[in-house]
Amino acid sequence: MTGLIQQATSLMASGVTVQFGGFKALTDISLTITSGAVHGLIGPNGAGKTTMVNVLTGFQASTSGRVTLGGRDVGGLPAHELRRQGIARTFQAGRLFAGLDVLDNLAVTGVGLGHSRRASEIEAFRVLESMGVAHLAERQAAGLPYTDERRIGIARALMFSPAFLLLDEPAAGMSEAEAEDLAQLIKRIAEDFGTGVLLIEHNVGLVLSVTSHVYVLDAGQMIEEGDRSVITSSQKVRDAYFGADQEAA
């Protein structure tokens, strides 16, 4: 890692708006991810969570607003360049290379980051071990059970210790116990390596158990943000989650 990345103590969006044709997926959204802490991003389906992650990681250009990394403007940089600068992510759907084994799925990322094949394989094994899934190293990605596939997606994002890690519903489809294990792992990553984490997760209780600060999106708007007590006592959050259901019922 370069000195620049280690100095990057925050990844910040300021006034980000994303418009698809006449539809605003995000309206004037500001949020900050700081090093060494887990931040939550919650909200109903279609709220704009994935779009926000896409903007922060260079997969989606914003219509207006700024993205800064350690105070430097990085808006408009392509995804692979932001990954080199220490911003890693996972995807809602696995997106592993089905034809490659697990170790190579990770090693490819290392090579993409400019490391040698050998160094990438060593790093891949280290990351798999740290996540307790080294036994999967030689398995074909295509045949992996769903929860293992999700873990490998996270392992791949952890290659060469990114400064920031954005996780798009990493526990989807996992059992309560598996999701809880994953949440503790995510917390450890932030605490042990100083990684700044943004956790998108459907299970609000899980998010509240591991995050210091939570952002709540609804229909592209930031309707609430704060710590556990702010979120649990927010009428706006209750309305966003239950209001629409009650109207539909």
Ligand X SMILES: Nc1ncnc2c1ncn2[C@@H]1O[C@H](COP(=O)(O)OP(=O)(O)O)[C@@H](O)[C@H]1O
Binding stretches for ligand X (CB under 6 A):
20, 25, 43, 45-51
Could you say whether residue 90 binds Mg ion (CB under 5 A)? no
Among Mg ion, ligand X, none, partner that 20 touches (CB below 5 to 8 angstroms by kind): ligand X
Chosen residue from 50, 85, 90, 105 binding Mg ion by CB under 5 A: 50
Q: Which stretch binds Mg ion (CB under 5 A): 11-19, 49-57, 127-135, 182-190?
A: 49-57
Tell the smallest beta-carbon distance from residue 45 to ligand X (Å): 5
Q: Which residue has the tokens 């759907």?
A: 93
CB-nearer residue toward ligand X: 149 or 218? 218
CA distance 244 to 199: 24
Q: How many CB atoms lie within 10 A of CB 227?
A: 12
Structure tokens at 184: 């503790």
Spell out where the chain has E strands: 10-20, 23-34, 38-42, 64-69, 72-73, 87-89, 164-168, 196-200, 213-218, 221-226
Among ligand X, Mg ion, none, partner that 75 touches (CB below 5 to 8 angstroms by kind): none
- CA-nearest of 234, 89, 66, 218 to 158 is 89
Among ligand X, Mg ion, none, partner that 40 touches (CB below 5 to 8 angstroms by kind): none
CB-nearer residue toward Mg ion: 123 or 201? 201
Binding site residues, Mg ion, CB under 5 A: 49-50
